[in-house]
């Protein structure tokens, strides 16, 4: 109530606080900028890694499969969320609720069958799969030449 009655006095400490943060940051960054020495050599641009020369690039490429699996996880996780909600009210929902839950689960099972059939749950990359296929029924082809 006091806060609502006098908002200005309430805000003042906050403003001082923010002002102090800005001032401090400005002093730290600006001080280093103005007082620090500068030298331009190729090595100076590299990140400092405790004296070890950095290797490689930060732009790592993830297999798209990671995202697929993550999305499937979210989808099927949501299934449980809905089922929990139903489980709490299972008596009140009665047989109608049961049938509805069955349909819901049925559709998800159909989805799972579909995902399995199109190979979306296969962790291997396309190349690995091809090589595995070749190893399986291509052993004679390998020994041929």
Tokens of 129: 């799969």
Using the minimum distance from each CB to another protein, give the nearer residue, 58 or 81.
81
Of 19 and 106, which has the nearer Cβ to another protein? 106
The least distance separating another protein from the CB of residue 110, rounded to whole angstroms, comes to 5
Of residues 102 and 113, the one with the C-beta less far from another protein: 113
- In angstroms, the CA 87 to CA 34 distance is 65
Please state, in angstroms and rounded to a whole number, the distance separating the CA atoms of residues 93 and 99. Answer: 10
Identify the residue among 75, 78, 87, 113 touching another protein (CB under 8 A): 113
85 binds another protein (CB under 8 A): no
CA 70 to chain centre: 8
Pure H helices in 6-89: 7-35, 64-88
Residue in 28, 89, 90, 107 binding another protein, rule: CB under 8 A: 107
Residues written for the chain = 145
110 binds another protein (CB under 8 A): yes
Q: Nearest CA to 111 among 66, 79, 63?
A: 79
Among 114, 123, 128, 138, binds another protein (CB under 8 A): 114
Residues that bind another protein (CB under 8 A): 106-107, 110-111, 113-114, 116-118
């Amino acid at each position: 109530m006091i806060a609502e009655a006098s908002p200005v006095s309430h805000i003042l400490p906050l403003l001082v606080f923010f002002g102090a943060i800005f001032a401090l940051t400005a002093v730290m960054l600006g001080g280093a900028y103005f007082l620090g020495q500068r030298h331009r050599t190729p090595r100076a641009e590299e990140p400092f890694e405790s004296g070890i020369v950095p290797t490689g690039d930060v732009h790592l490429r993830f297999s798209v499969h990671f995202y697929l699996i993550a999305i499937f996880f979210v989808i099927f996780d949501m299934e449980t969320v809905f089922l929990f909600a139903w489980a709490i009210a299972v008596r009140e929902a009665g047989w109608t609720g049961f049938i509805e839950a069955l349909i819901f689960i049925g559709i998800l099972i159909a989805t799972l069958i579909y995902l399995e059939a199109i190979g979306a749950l296969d962790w291997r990359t396309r190349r690995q799969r091809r090589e595995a296929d070749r190893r399986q029924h291509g052993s004679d082809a390998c020994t041929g030449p």
